[in-house]
Structure 1
Amino acid sequence: MAEISEDPTSTVASLARAAADAAAEAAAARDPADAIPLHERAARAYVRAAKRVEGPPRTALLAIGEGHAARAAELRRPAAPEPVDAPRERATSKAEPPPGTLCVGDLLALERRLHALGARETTVPGVAEAPRAVDASPAVAAAADRRVAELLGEAWAAASDGEDDEAPPPAADDGRLARTVARLAAANAELVEERDALRRDARRVAETKRATEALAKKYDAKFEKLRESLDAFRRAYPAPSNPANVLEPGAPAPSLDDLERDARELRAQLAAERDLGRKRDAIIARYEHWYSALKASAAARRRPSHEGSFEA
């Protein structure tokens, strides 16, 4: 028979597994006297497991615990003898329960599901365990204790409150508080150091800004004086020879590379002109030779006619 762990650090899976084992033994018990303590043990285990979870799992575990407590109370009540001549009621169809009501079949199916999950895994999947000292819903757990206590008895309720709501030892609280204070002190020291560094940076930025503004004002005054001096010099010497009066300065002096490039271009141009001059001279000389030959032939043709006229 599975025993319910009294250790406050018990997991939800171990409590649910112990409760499911107790419920299975209660269902298999033939004698109601043997089934009563098993149902009570299952109810206690389900209530303890419900205090360690939140949300729908808590509601389901509390409902299962209440079901086992109600079954134990029902078995404790003596059965009333049925009269021999009492008329039997005809079997009639019962109305369906309203939506959202947890029936006995639903509770048993949910219980079997929790038992299967506890057998496969060490922790219930999807359920976040919460320490009992920081339970998010103490009112729900207290109400469950009261409902189960009404079904199981006042003695069990007092023991349940004493063992489930026991405060952690002061030494553990002091150690946890000391560790928390140490972490907060370290974080505070880092924040203070960061704040001091930011303040120093802000002071340096402000000083740099003031120095820049003072330097700008100083050089603005100097440039203004220089501008006034140039204007006075222009007015004193208005001649164009004054460089201060030249609005557009002349072209810069050519460099040695520029002069060499210009010289090469001029030499190439001169060579081209010489070639062209030689060609022209050759053409002129040819025309002069042709003209001289033409003139000589014309003179030779005129000479015989003159001689014949003289003889006649």
Structure 2
Amino acid sequence: MRHTTQKQREEKHKEPADAGARGPPPSQWINHRTAIENFALTLKTTAQMLQVFGARLATTELPTGVLPTEDLLMAHTRQRDKLQDELKLLGKQGTTLLSCMREPVTKPPASKPNPSELENAATMERLLVQLAETEEAFSQFWSEHHLKFHQCLQLQQFEHNFCKVKLALDNLLEEEAEFTGVGDSGMHVEQLLKEHKKLEEKAQESLDKAQLLALVGDQLVQSRHYAADSIRPRCVELRCLRDDFVNENQRKDDLLGKALELHRQLETVSRWCEAGIYLLASQAVDKCQSREGVDIALNDIDFFSQPKI
């Protein structure tokens, strides 16, 4: 039988000098490396998807209608939200994986980090930095794309509303131009004033829309919209059309008001003349045969001719 020496027994129970730096079990290291490779592959695949999506957005032509633009922008937003959710989920997975690598379950409390653990953690950190850079680049690209399409939609909505409001103002100016007469009697002028008032009430909604749309255009110009040079003259035109109608409406209203006052004065004079004719015709001839009768008749006529205050 072979006897074990004292030295051999001591070496058998002696702890290695670098026991504190002993790495994790091979199975755990393999799991971490596999997880890193899977994460890196998923990150690469996601980045490629973002590139494809970005290239498609960059080559998309701006639609020519409000509804097509809204539909396309909503579709792009849904795709962007889906990719962004995948990036967030990937970030959470990577953070969890890095945490596991930094605090292995099997690590003794007093042990020191192992080079293989540090290498895995460093690799994972680099991948998370790459993920963050990818996210930031995609976010910047999306902001520019969304701004371009959003401004396109704003322009189309402005142009659509501009055409509607301009048509309404043009029609109102045409109706205003039809009020050419001033009436041949007080009743006729009063009827014209009522019709003119109805036109003014009818026009108020379009006038308000024109004013509001011009303000919207001003805001678009101030926000440095890419089509500011075409929006600005539209705002000027809206205000000119609105002012043209308001000024012409006020002019016609003043004219009809003066015509009504003139007809009322003419009617008053006409009634006075009729009353004077009646007064003269009602004087009895026999009353004028005496001095007293003549004086009475003259006094009646003089009183009638005096201005009534």
Q: TM-score range by the shorter chain?
A: 0.3 to 0.5
Q: Which has the higher helix share?
A: 2
Query: Highest Rg: 1 or 2?
Result: 1
What's the TM-score once normalised by structure 1's chain length? 0.33
What's the TM-score once normalised by structure 2's chain length? 0.33
Query: Larger relative contact order (C-alpha < 8 A, sep ≥ 6)?
Result: 2
